[in-house]
Amino acid sequence: MENTKSTVSDQELKRVIADFLDQGHVDNIIAMFRREPSYYTWTGDLLQDDRFSVRLGLSVLFEELVKLQPEKTVLAIPSLVQVLENPEPLLRGEAVSLLGMIGTKEAIAHIRLLETDKNPQVREMVTIILEEHA
């Protein structure tokens, strides 16, 4: 009998993570991110999921991860910076929020770039976060 190894593509794994967040299983995702820090690089992709519950789950996830392993959360910054250029203001605001949770000088520098965003809600989110980190 031939030994076959089943592999899961990154795309499939991102879908599983999003589905778990959608279902409220944040603890499982916290454990996954803690075991495999490369998952942080998927944050921007996950943030662009159509489901509100997935985006909310990411906020809950990062609230915990910044307490548990703040040094790893910076791995999410490049993927979140890409979302800052998304035409959808809601997603830009969500990315600003997560960058604010990360709170490093680099994250805050990226947030500052949106102080003149064309959307008033995004600008308001930027102002709130910059005041928190002043």
Q: Which of 89, 90, 79 shows the shortest CA–CA distance to 56?
A: 90
Give the pLDDT score at 134. Answer: 86
Are 66 and 103 in contact by the 8 Å Cβ rule? The answer is yes
Give the pLDDT score at 1. Answer: 44
Which H helix or E strand runs over 129?
helix 120-132
Q: Which of 46, 99, 50 shows the shortest CA–CA distance to 74?
A: 99
Give the pLDDT score at 6. Answer: 54
pLDDT tens digits for 89-127?
Answer: 999 999 999 999 999 999 999 999 999 999 999 999 999
Q: How far apart are CA 8 and CA 80, in angstroms?
A: 24
User: 7-16, 24-33, 64-73, 124-133 — which is least confidently predicted?
Assistant: 7-16
Which of the following CATH numbers is that of domain 10-132: 2.40.50.430, 1.10.40.60, 1.25.10.10, 3.40.50.1220?
1.25.10.10
Q: Quickly tell me which residue has 């985006």 as its tokens.
A: 55
Coil vs helix vs strand at 84: coil
Give the pLDDT score at 20. Answer: 96
Give the pLDDT score at 3. Answer: 46
Are 65 and 30 in contact by the 8 Å Cβ rule? The answer is yes
Q: How far apart are CA 119 and CA 107, in angstroms?
A: 20
Q: How far apart are CA 43 and CA 14, in angstroms?
A: 9
Give the pLDDT score at 4. Answer: 45
